[in-house]
Chains A and B, each alone.
Chain A
Amino acid sequence: MTWWSLVLILVWLGTFVAGQLFFKRAMESSGVAGFRNRQTISILSIGILLMTVSFFLNLGLLQRFDLSYLYPFQGLSVIIVTLMAAIILKEKLTWRLTIGTLLITAGVVLVSMS
């Protein structure tokens, strides 16, 4: 793996996680202000844009690497999304949720390594 592919994997993960956060924010906004609200639409659009970038990067990476190689990185997204949801969206992160998320991450990494 070259440093370039590592950068691409990081950007792929970063845009994916950010996209999820924007989606959740957009749905919160739609609950308060409705779907045709300008704020809701702009947050949703940023989310879709980020997800589109992430999608094409994923495709580019899939053309070069096996799915089984890329999967551990995708597994990491579980822990990153949960952490970011707690920090940025102020969602409640219980011990139970943390342990469950860690186990899922470990399991995904193990599945893709074997």
Chain B
Amino acid sequence: MTNNRPSGFANPWIQLGLNIICVVLYELLLKAGARATADPSKSWSWIGITGLASPLIWLAIVVIILDLVIWLYVLKYIPLSIAFPLSRLVDVLVPISCWLILKEGISSLRWCGIALVIIGLAIVAKPAARLEERL
């Protein structure tokens, strides 16, 4: 890797964190928008184009484009095989934020799944830390 890693806000690891926040945000927006526009009676709605009727989907698209730029920036500095598994932190953050904010219940089996993801992330983060030393 020949690029010098930028520091401060431009640090790719901070940008990876921003990317994760964007993904959580647009996943929730997409589901809300999709639910509002669902009409399975139309056969061609399989391609999802009917979702564009919802302003929530358009807001989600704005976040997705922002997220794309951030993600490309992250990929410039971090290998895909490390950045992508780490970006799946969203799979932990979505249920936990539903639990904290929406007061939704989390079953013990789900807590086990969350624990597994966190252990996996910690294991993946180790080669990431080594990569950081090399940069």
Q: Which A residues fall within an 8 A CB radius of B?
A: 4, 8, 20-21, 23-24, 26-27, 30-31, 44, 48, 51, 55-64, 67, 71, 74-75, 78, 81-82, 85-86, 89, 91-94, 96-97, 99-114
Contacts and interface: CB of A to CB of B under 8 A. Distances in A.
Given A64-B40, A82-B84, A101-B120, A59 B113 contact: no
A20 B115 CA distance: 26
A63 B51 contact: yes
Contacts of B107: 114
Contacts, number: 171
Contacts of A44: 72
Interface in B8-59: 27, 30-31, 34-35, 37-40, 45-51, 57
Contacts of A57: 47-48
Interface residues of B, number: 54
Contacts of A102: 120
Nearest to A94: B127
Contact of A62 (B31, B64, B76, B120): B31
B117 A107 contact: yes
A78 B84 contact: yes
B85 A60 contact: no
B102 interface: no
A111 B68 contact: no
